[in-house]
A = this chain, B = another copy of it.
Amino acid sequence: MNIAFLGLGAMGLPMARNLLRAGHALHAWNRTRDKVAALEADGARVASSPADAVQGVEMAISMLADDRAALDVALGDAGLLAALREDAVHVSMSTIGLDTVRALEAAHAAAGRALVSAPVFGRPAAAAAAKLLIVAAGPGQAVERCRPAFDALGQGTFVVGDDPAQANVVKLTGNFLIASAIESLGEAVALLRKAGVDPGAVMGLLTNTLFASPIHKTYSEIIVGTHYSPPGFAMPLGLKDMGLVLEAARLLQVPMPTASLVRDGLVSGLARGLGHLDWSAVAEVRAWDAGLPPARGV
């Protein structure tokens, strides 16, 4: 397929490479030019703007850092929507808020263009390995036209509804569950440490039995070992995501007290100077709250 790829950050760049590898023709655009050069060597055509990138393509994929960038790239000056072919589909893969995806959907509907929302679970290493989990929502036919691209990017695609915003709610729900697991692990480890019990041994036991999940294994190891640096997902990004969760919860009228709790913990983490660490350093906030000394190197 002829595909435009907009946004070549830590996630977007390896995703774009996988599309090239799978034989798709790629028009690439990034806000800054440095990232594009590497991709050009792999065969991508470099575009000067989102509008330029989507000229003539069947599909435009956007993978951007935040809601503002997602709105600008789609609807701003030289944005993609005005230049998109009538029969093309725009696949928004960014983790963005409910309000933003609703605004995008309304603009696409008014312009007679198809929007699919397809945020992903997985970190940059999973993106490079084409092992992302893709959660998609949008009009059925439009989602089907995206299959070849999704197959090149992930290990599976889960269609959750006709309304693009539903995919974002699912993505935010997943991030919420991860955040609440981190929060509870942080409180648990603080309790164990103050009881003089080895938290590594206990967490090893629990994450090989009752809590034998990738999330609990990964994060209990980070927290027990205080391996918060370099961050896999930095604390300010975690706070941004909890903001998106709570905004969606407000719009859908769902009180989510655990999300509020984690958000307050992350705010405290930033206030105490932990903003350069992984978001799981909210466990460090809970340790300090319990009077425990700061971890080495924090």
Contact = CB atoms under 8 A, between A and B. Distances in A.
A169 B261 CA distance: 22
- When all copies of this chain in the complex are counted, the total is 4
Interface in A233-256: 239, 243, 248-250, 252-256
User: Interface residue tally of chain A, by bracket?
Assistant: 35 or more
A258 B191 CA distance: 13
Given A160-B201, A205-B133, A215-B211, A264 B253 contact: no
Given A173-B188, A184-B176, A271-B289, A166 B210 contact: no
Interface string A166-199: 1001101110111011011101101110111110
Given A172-B191, A173-B188, A194-B253, 17 more contacts: A133-B205, A166-B195, A169-B197, A170-B202, A173-B191, A177-B185, A180-B184, A184-B184, A187-B257, A210-B214, A210-B215, A253-B271, A254-B289, A255-B271, A257-B257, A258-B261, A260-B261
Given A206-B174, A210-B174, A267-B254, A169 B192 contact: yes
Contact of A254 (B184, B187, B255): B187
A268 B289 CA distance: 5
Interface string A136-173: 00000000000000000000001011010110011011
